[in-house]
Amino acid sequence: MDVNERIKAILVEHPVVLFMKGTPAWPMCDFSARAAQALTATGARFQTVNVQADPQIRSALPHFSNLSTFPQLFVQGELMGGCDVIEELHQAGELGRMMADVLAVP
């Protein structure tokens, strides 16, 4: 499976994915830490991918998403944005509502 197919498979399998440097418990940059904290504050479950541990995804994702920085948040396969967007959504209360809508069990 090529790297773009792997990225697509991750996005299909998980409704909320944060591609970040490190993990929520051990972030490797301030931006990734802040993004993970905002998502965690919503109480939502989300999948993380440590791009430091997967150099193929780290190099391919900017081309796949057309966003050159990390972290990158995808919701239902759609790029939401990076740290600034995540924090803005969180501060406006939209991130929590978005997570509740996406992760609601019918």
Kind of pairing between the strands at 47-50 and 78-81: unpaired
Is 19 one of the annotated binding-site residues?
A: no
Residue 34 assigned to a binding site: no
Which residue shows structure tokens 């301030």? 30
Q: Is 2 annotated as a binding residue?
A: no
Residue 93 exposed, middle or buried by CB count within 10 Å (0-12, 13-18, 19+) = exposed
Q: How far apart are CA 101 and CA 4, in angstroms?
A: 27
Q: What does the DSSP assignment read for 73-90?
A: EEETTEEEESHHHHHHHH
84 is in an annotated binding site: yes
Q: Which residues are annotated as a binding site for glutathione?
A: 21, 58, 70, 83-84
Please give the annotated binding residues, written as ranges: 21, 29, 58, 70, 83-84
Query: Residue positions in the annotated binding site for [2Fe-2S] cluster?
Result: 29
